[in-house]
Structure 1
Amino acid sequence: MLMGFAAMLMVACKSSKSIYVFSSFHEPADEGLRFLYSKDAWHWTDLNHIYLKPLVGDAKIMRDPSITQGPDATFHLVWTTNWKNDQGIGHASSKDLVHWSEEEHINVMGYEPTTKNAWAPELFYDDEAGQYIIVWASCIPGRFPKGQEDEDNNHRLYYTATKDFKTFSPTKLFLDPGFSVIDAEIIKRGKGDYVLVMKDNTRPNRNILVAFAESPLGPYHDYTKRFTEMYSEGPSAIKAGNDWLIYYDSYRLKRYGAMRTTDFKTFTDVSDSVKVPEGHKHGTIFKVTPKILDGLKKAAGQ
């Protein structure tokens, strides 16, 4: 019987003693793609090297770099190309995280001319449907009811899907939870068991919560309480042993925080037990082989 992509990836990770890699950028986001790495997902080392400089979008910046690896072993990267007045996202691909394809600017919200932005695109490979799902936050002023936030900061989540990054499904609304929401990441725990980690961007909340679904495209339900301190964003989750770790940028405290959970219902603050290099900003965590890490180190002169 043929083994599914997720199972093959799990076997490969176990057999090769895979390394955790955290995509990263530094403010003011004009330098480009950085990486951290870890053997235990708790203690991170900065490779201190720029692996891809941003070349697309009017602002020529790279924020919120999200990376996932497809069944052909290709890594795909998407990122935020501007704070505002930009209706697209960046994309590039690589086999080794060192040598990258030509960068592209994908105009995901061009069909809505009043859209203010396209923030924090997150990649998820749906191994059951055989497609990549890209989820991001956009603000279309006047489209949805709002709370205390300004009309230009009232976000909802949108998505498109692709099998090859050449053709894309029409952009659709992914999530309207009844409040301004950004920074969403889809997690698959098992067949028919998905978790969405996101930031409630309303005032005065601005903190992290999760919801659940039977499909990666939802509908999502059973929203949890907000479980991080106020002024936290950019959640990135990874399974480490029996635990899930949810990293997030606690920007008011000027540090990276982390929550540990086994069921996404009860959360324990382990921020004092993790080590994240200073300057690291919102990315995603994924696994690579030692060979990939060796290549990253070599490119960084290490």
Structure 2
Amino acid sequence: MTSGPRPTRRSFLGMAAATPLAVTGALGAGAGTAHAAGTAYAMAYFTESPNGTGTDYGLHLAVSTDALDWMPLNQNNPVVTPTEGALGLRDPFVLRKQDGTFVVLATDLKGTDWSYVSQYVHVWNSPDLRTFTGYHRLKVHGLNTHAWAPEAFWDAGRGQYALIYSAVGAGGHNVIMVNYTTDFVTASAPQVFFDPGYDVIDGDMAVGVNGVNHLYFKKNQTLAGARSTSLDPGSFREFGTAVAHGGTEAPTLVRSPGAGNWYLWGDTYTPNGVFYAWQTTDLASGTWTPLDQKAYTQPVNSKHCGITPLSTTEYDNLVARWGVPSWNRLKSYNYPARYVRHANYAGRIDEYPFDPYTDSLWQLVPGLADSGAVSFRSVSHPTRYLRHYDYQLRLDVNDGTSTFAADATFQRTAGLADASWSSFRSYNNPTRYLRHSDYVLRIDPISTATDRRDATFRVGY
């Protein structure tokens, strides 16, 4: 539940459940297993940006072939938005059910009004994440407390889905609750799933990994783990070493392609909303190594994600349905928290996130002076291009002259510091490359290792 500090709400929830809930709706039955290795992946998220220009509380989707670098779908616009409750969502999660279709769950909350109490979670079903049907809200309890960050997994022993979420327990602190369901239309009475005696939220599961089930959650601004050989409520015990990057929450576990590594994603709950990632080759060890930010890129403005594996065909079908972004972002190689942007019409690299975020979106179009090269057209100022002037990069209106065209044209080459990235050689000053210096963009001759790193960028999203 990416948010920042939130007040807890006192409830009278005990270990014994109340009357089972029956909620009407329409959703198919079935089950599935989350967090397996895949050949591709889908990420569900909502968006927030520092001053709100990139904020949207609908369901957003991105795809990846490695679970690290992500491409937003639908131009980073929502693919579906709630029409009941708070009319917005947070913390979306996608589960593949036993029949191969999907169910989407999300917190019933729009914005950051933590005093808003909903006893419901949003539910959609989808055959393929290209269409969404059967929308309804599922009531998970009848208590004076929230139902945050819902997720689900298949409990084979019960023959039901376990739907877990964060709510305030009898002790006055957040615990992880569970309801059982076969169809996400009706649910059993709530039970406490995990209560270590202190505040915990944002449970995320990896089920049946070498006979052990793993639960990761937010504990005191860190991501901590618990495990059990069963899926019974109350059976999980903490293990391993917690990780954090500042205040971190919203843990998401995903197995890498080929099943060699596990990744643990986390989201800072400041308004910045920056994702960080860790990896391990042995989930049972409970130890994680931070990944260099060069290794991964989150969708722009994304918050509190859920990740599910896809087949290659499903990946291709999603891209065909929702489209490739019409823009790119350029990440600095040696300052991977920073992206190329314009500010007051000057070219520079600044630390993500910032507003207006559209200042970091570029259309790489055929070069104005050479169609085999590229020019950088601004998305936020589409009549303007990055061009060099006195060797510094600035954003200017195309005046139609050959001089402007040449100044705004660059030959894209293999990255000077990493051939899998990109560098850009000036068209009319071919001994000079686009690089940053004191975070300002310019074109310079390149000779040292530092120069090569300064002149290397990842073209992504």
TM-score under structure 2 length normalisation: 0.56
**What SS does structure 1 have at the residue aligned with 2:242?**
coil
Determine the structure 1 residue equivalent to 2:124. 92
Q: Is the 8 A contact 1:156 1:181 kept in 2?
A: yes
CA distance change for structure 1 residues 194 and 120 in 2, over 3 Å: closer, same or farther? same
Q: Which stretch shows the higher mean deviation, 177-186 or 280-289?
A: 280-289
How far did residue 250 of structure 1 move?
A: 2.1
Determine the structure 1 residue equivalent to 2:147. 118
**What SS does structure 1 have at the residue aligned with 2:255?**
strand
CA distance change for structure 1 residues 40 and 226 in 2, over 3 Å: closer, same or farther? same
The one of 226, 240, 265 equivalent to 2:242 is 226
* Mapped partners of 2:163, 2:56: distance in 1: 23
Amino acid in the other structure paired with 2:269: Y
Task: Please list, as runs of the form range in 1=range in 2, the aligned pairs for 1:281-292 lying within 5 A after superposition.
Answer: 281-292=303-314
* Mapped partners of 1:188, 1:69: distance in 2: 13
The structure that has the greater radius of gyration is: 2
Q: Is the 8 A contact 1:255 1:278 kept in 2?
A: no
How far did residue 118 of structure 1 move?
A: 0.9
Q: Is the 8 A contact 2:138 2:185 kept in 1?
A: no
How far did residue 214 of structure 1 move?
A: 0.9
How far did residue 130 of structure 1 move?
A: 2.8
1:300 equivalent in alignment to 2:316: no
Q: Residue deviations 1:135-175, cap 9 Å, x none?
A: 100125xx316xxxxxxxx3111110111223312111111
Q: What is the RMSD computed on CA atoms of the aligned residues?
A: 2.4
1:81 equivalent in alignment to 2:108: yes
* More strand as a share of residues: 2
How far did residue 289 of structure 1 move?
A: 2.1
1:198 equivalent in alignment to 2:217: yes
Determine the structure 2 residue equivalent to 1:239. 255
1:270 equivalent in alignment to 2:286: no
Determine the structure 2 residue equivalent to 1:148. none
* Mapped partners of 1:173, 1:128: distance in 2: 18
How far did residue 73 of structure 1 move?
A: 1.2
CA distance change for structure 1 residues 254 and 262 in 2, over 3 Å: closer, same or farther? same
How far did residue 30 of structure 1 move?
A: 4.6
1:22 equivalent in alignment to 2:43: yes
Q: Which runs of 5+ in 2 are unaligned?
A: 1-30, 325-461
* Mapped partners of 1:191, 1:223: distance in 2: 16
Q: Which stretch shows the higher mean deviation, 277-286 or 217-226?
A: 217-226
The one of 18, 33, 42 equivalent to 2:59 is 33
**Percent identity between the aligned chains?**
28
The one of 224, 245, 253 equivalent to 1:209 is 224
Q: How many aligned positions are there?
A: 275
Amino acid in the other structure paired with 1:267: W
Q: Which stretch shows the higher mean deviation, 95-104 or 213-222?
A: 213-222
Determine the structure 1 residue equivalent to 2:163. 134
The one of 66, 76, 95 equivalent to 2:93 is 66
Amino acid in the other structure paired with 1:38: S
Amino acid in the other structure paired with 2:230: S
* Mapped partners of 1:25, 1:251: distance in 2: 13
Determine the structure 2 residue equivalent to 1:251. 269
Determine the structure 2 residue equivalent to 1:56. 84
CA distance change for structure 1 residues 131 and 191 in 2, over 3 Å: closer, same or farther? farther
Amino acid in the other structure paired with 1:231: G
* Mapped partners of 1:287, 1:175: distance in 2: 26
Q: Is the 8 A contact 1:51 1:97 kept in 2?
A: no
TM-score under structure 1 length normalisation: 0.83
* Mapped partners of 1:211, 1:125: distance in 2: 18
Q: Is the 8 A contact 1:89 1:106 kept in 2?
A: yes
* Mapped partners of 1:190, 1:199: distance in 2: 21
Determine the structure 2 residue equivalent to 1:171. 190
Q: Which runs of 5+ in 1 are unaligned?
A: 146-153
Amino acid in the other structure paired with 1:53: T
Q: Which stretch shows the higher mean deviation, 84-93 or 250-259?
A: 250-259
